[in-house]
Amino acid sequence: MAVPERRCTVLAYIGLGSNLDDPRAQLCRAIHELAGLPGCTLRARSSLYATAPLGPVAQPEFVNAVAVLTTKLTPLALLGALQGIERDHGRVRDGARWGPRTLDLDLLLYGDWQLQLPGLTLPHPEMARRAFVLVPLAEIAPAGLLIPGQGDLAGLLAARDDRDGIRPLPDGAPTGAAGPSPLSSR
């Protein structure tokens, strides 16, 4: 079946996270797979960050990053594509909210859209409360980025007191074509 595409491209920010089965490799592979999605072009990706697990479950440290694509896919088609990549990484969505995972791909922002559908809320409703999302996002987002309905990125980041648990991985910086693009320059 044809994947629904729009005529215009939109910037979509994707949050990546993993804390199982070689998290760093999971993220590197996922970024490569995002770049290969039909109707999508990878514009930039952040460094990889080691982050303290958020939530009530004791579990291994996470690796997190954010990537930005231009996409012609509709939000739901893009979400479906992200879930397909998660499945390829052995992710089972069994309703367990807080447990460890091989790969989490969250659609954070789709242009400036605000949307509430079963299974998809835009912007991602938790992003403003998660330093492990805001720190890598700030690395690749244009200055003054507004998160619709939540505030400006710099203000949201300044309000987080859990930034300490987040450190860039020594060799997790972007390289080559997937590095920051002119789109994301400040």
Sequence length of the chain is 186
| Contact in structure between 30 and 150 (CB atoms under 8 Å) | no
- Set 6, 21, 43, 91: catalytic member: 91
SS3 state at 135: helix
* Annotation marks residue 106 as catalytic: yes
Of 20 and 54, the one with the shorter C-beta distance to ligand ROI is: 54
> Please, which residues bridge with residue 147 across strands?
151
Taking CB under 6 A as the criterion, the residue among 22, 90, 98, 183 binding ligand ROI is 98
Q: Which of 21, 43, 45, 101 is catalytic?
A: 101
Q: How far is the CB of 132 from ligand ROI (least distance, A)?
A: 4
Which of 24, 29, 106, 167 is catalytic? The answer is 106
Cβ contacts of residue 182 below 8 Å, gap of 6+?
Answer: none
Binding of residue 46 to ligand ROI (CB under 6 A):
no
* Residue with nearest beta carbon to ligand ROI: 17
**Active site positions, annotated:** 91, 101, 104, 106
Where along the sequence are the contacts to ligand ROI (CB under 6 A)? 17, 51-55, 62, 64, 98, 104, 132
